[in-house]
Structure 1
Amino acid sequence: MTDPAVPAATTRLNKRMAELGLCSRREADDWIARGWVRVDGAVAPMGLQVGPQARIEVDRRATGQQQQQVTILLHKPVGYVSGQAEDGYQPAVTLVQGRSHWGGDPSRQRFAPQQLRGLAPAGRLDIDSTGLLVLTQDGRVARQLIGEDSGMEKEYLVRVEFGAVTREVQAAFPPAQLARLRHGLSLDGKPLKPARVDWQNPEQLRFVLTEGKKRQIRRMCEAVGLRVVGLKRIRIGRVLLGQLPVGQWRYLGEGERF
């Protein structure tokens, strides 16, 4: 039983709003600065600490602004970096243009330049990998995909070689090493979470991960003697890459959820 004499732990308001799924911390700070957030009926100042029972209300202008934010699904080609430009390579966001909007997009949204403002990748995909990359203006989506407590599944098709074996790799690869890929490897001194790893065909593995360490699949494969020669992400949560062509993008649909 809680001792009423002991005050409940407090949390910074922007963090509490993010925990409640209202917005990202950055958005919360912006809304608080604009006077759009009330706590227990009073306009909240920046840096306010709140208890778990605090009543948080958000102005309709904030929710209206949020509804205009877009989330974009891009089929990233090899040779583009997920985030900031580096070593002469272009960031994937440069592919988000009117002419590369997929003609098969079922969304009725139309591309506008302001949709690029604050559009950032929610997760990474290596320069030499292809497949589904999510770019979003919505902090709620980013938190869902890459937040500290996110366990979002991500699915990959991975073409591999084993030493000099380039064909019928499955027959040459020891089952005990496949078991290590599923559970038993460590990276950077920390054990990896269990993964689902199965043969899709004799030269290709299917990985389903719930974490995203840098170059994780390539490093996992190296640890058991495999060399990755092709890597494609085909699913994040419930959202599939599907028929989206390489280098093209579409909007996350209104009723679509990760």
Structure 2
Amino acid sequence: MRTFGLIGRSLSHSFSQTYFTQKFYRLGLDDCRYELFELASPHELPSLLAQHSDLAGLNVTIPYKEQIWPYLTDVASSAALVGAVNVIELRADGTLIGHNTDYVGFRESLRPFYTARGPESRALVLGTGGAAKAVGVALRELDIPYWLVSRDALGPHLTYAELTPAVLAAHPLIINTTPLGTYPDVAACPPLPYAALTPQHYLYDLVYNPRETLFLQKGREAGAQTKNGFDMLERQAEAAWDIWNK
């Protein structure tokens, strides 16, 4: 039996297990299974590996995409580029290699949704964690200038208090990389001046459960184009599968 899995702090919202279980069924892979491993801390990773000798690959989600680094043997160029890990390759010799497939998944998911490029295509990236780093790399590769937005004043980042209607008007693409709105906390959303949204805006939420977060709902009601993160989930998952089976 080959076991794959997802590690994170709270995983009740995740579709990864369903996605891979269905994939294994379609491919007739009776010797593969996918499990959810909730860890109170990344310090629990060595113990998890010791308890599950059949582990063949892991995904990493919030909030461990950056915290997991000290427990890895090495990182691939994708993870070094982003500064975060969402895939762990477990090699036969016991080494753990960190990869990042988030940024490729997001980049390829964004291409058909938002086609503007260059200085007038500016974006706001809500959040500053590992997912935001992956989004930032993808935006740079697509030639889309952006600002990170955080709750607190951190270096060159904008704060939510600085997101005036004029700032929103100058940034047609808004990407939520925070967990706000994720099931079961579906009544939460980033604190934006939603009344300033227009049909010229594009809202992308990395959250995919629920299908339409309050962030996306408010955007849709303003006439904006909206997209959730399920397409990104599929793309990054397939890239992870390729890494585990190369």
> Higher helix proportion, which one?
2
Give the structure-2-normalised TM-score.
0.29
Which protein, 1 or 2, shows the higher relative CO under an 8 Å CA cutoff with sep ≥ 6?
Answer: 1
Structure with bigger gyration radius = 1
> Higher strand proportion, which one?
1
